[in-house]
Copies of this chain bind each other. A is one copy, B any other.
Amino acid sequence: MHPLDSPSHGISRRAWLTTASGLVAAGLVRGQGDAVKLAAATPEPLQQAAAPNEIPGRLVSELGSRAPAERPRRLVRAQALSSSSRTPLQDLHGIITPADLHFERHHAGIPDIGADEHELLIHGMVDRPITLSVADLKRFPAVSRICFIECSGNGGAGYSDGDLPSEITPQALDGLLSTSEWTGVPLSTLLREVGVRDGASWLLAEGGDAAMLARSVPIEKAMDDALIVYAQNGEAIRPEQGYPVRLLLPGWEGNAQVKWLRRIEVTDRPTHTREETSRYTDPLADGTARQFSFVMDAKSLITFPAYPYSLPERGWWEVSGLAWSGRGRITRVEVSTDTGRSWVDAEIQSPVLSKCTVRFRHLWNWDGRETVLMSRATDETGYVQPTLERLLAARGARTSYHWNNVRAWRVLRDGSVSFGLVL
């Protein structure tokens, strides 16, 4: 029987129920008779030096701040005008990315644009070209959705170079991925407003940065679920996310989701801009290239355990990570803890939203031996995250985007974890 066909779904739940005793056996949980003596039915302070409960705390503030010891940071890379920053995936829980930790990828930096002056022009093959202020956009009926944005170059740091790094974090490897709740106007509403003419089939979306980044988008996507967004996680989107408005194309590569959006031109063909000819195409083995490979295919990544963290001891550990697909919902995440010999279904944390990351969890009893951990996502279309071998067989060795192949983390006997090429 193929391991994928085995009734393995109950494993993690059974393991979960036995975790407690496992932790006790491992000596992780410390019984403390002394502390018990201190506690009584009426609250009494624990005996601590300079106890925080003995002195008044600071008062409320207009804006909260992180605990001084907590310093999540994006990993920044900048070369002249080309720059990126990556989300610290190994330090985050759940699926939501705080706005100030959302990844960035810019071709000419972050322009300084005021919301009051900014306008969005919609023109081309339309009956009634219009210019909309941000206030105009906010008056249209709004839609909110939680979804991921991923740069199509994500993973390239791990796979695009034949010489694979072993000391690479989830952040450095796949940190061009973030998840937010976005709010804005359906692009379909605006296109009905302007009246799209017969024969129109594409549109050009142009940003207001110095790169004037522009991408062609099929009008089907625009009429489906594209949004012109002005809010992220409740508040105004940040300048580095396209303030005051960006194009949101749920499930599609980040580059096409044009930031600082200032112009949409309705056309009858793709415009073949610089960013979709010289870049953001996928070279194939036969010398041609995939162009307009918009959709981010199903992918998953274990974020713990992963480099640079190590396991201090054998025993029960929760393997946890993210899975996502640009084609819809994630339906299954399998985890292998034995270098791919067997796979079991991980628990998928609800809610499972379309074109959104999900958190998966799998309880693993490490026996202290060297092994390799992997995860494999399946989405509602039946697409299964491929091995690196299959991905390279399909695309050729020169491929440089859309690295959604299975990731592997090698665990050594000393508990250290390194990035490992397997499959």
Binding site for B on A (CB under 8 A): 16-17, 19-20, 23-24, 28-33, 35-36, 39, 41-43, 45-46, 48, 51-67, 69-70, 72-74, 76-78, 81, 83-85, 91-102, 104, 106, 108-117, 119, 121, 123-124, 128-132, 136, 139-146, 180-183, 189, 192-193, 204, 206-210, 212, 214, 230-231, 233-236, 238-241, 243-244, 260, 262-263, 265, 267, 271, 273, 316-318, 320, 349-351, 353, 359, 361, 363
Contact = CB atoms under 8 A, between A and B. Distances in A.
Contact of A204 (B35, B41, B69, B317): B41
Nearest to A320: B142
A146 B351 contact: yes
A108 B60 CA distance: 10
B210 A53 contact: yes
A67 B239 contact: yes
A227 to B, nearest CB: 12
A43 B64 CA distance: 42
B96 A181 contact: yes
A353 to B, nearest CB: 6
A116 to B, nearest CB: 8
A106 B231 CA distance: 30
A308 to B, nearest CB: 16
Contact of A62 (B35, B76, B110): B76
Contacts of A113: 52
A96 B41 contact: no
A46 B263 contact: yes
B31 A129 contact: yes
B66 A238 contact: yes
Given A36-B129, A43-B263, A59-B106, 16 more contacts: A35-B121, A36-B123, A41-B204, A57-B111, A57-B210, A60-B78, A60-B106, A62-B85, A64-B240, A67-B238, A94-B183, A94-B233, A96-B180, A98-B99, A143-B349, A144-B349
Given A59-B83, A94-B183, A102 B52 contact: no
Given A29-B130, A129-B35, A142 B361 contact: yes
27 contacts: A20-B193, A29-B193, A30-B132, A32-B129, A35-B119, A35-B131, A39-B124, A39-B265, A43-B204, A43-B206, A43-B212, A53-B111, A57-B106, A60-B78, A62-B74, A64-B238, A66-B236, A66-B238, A70-B115, A70-B236, A95-B234, A101-B234, A139-B316, A142-B318, A143-B349, A145-B350, A351-B353
Nearest to A39: B123
Contacts of A359: 144
Contacts of A100: 63-65
A102 B113 CA distance: 28
A102 B59 CA distance: 15
Contacts of A31: 128-131
A109 B234 contact: no
Contacts of A35: 119, 121, 123, 129, 131
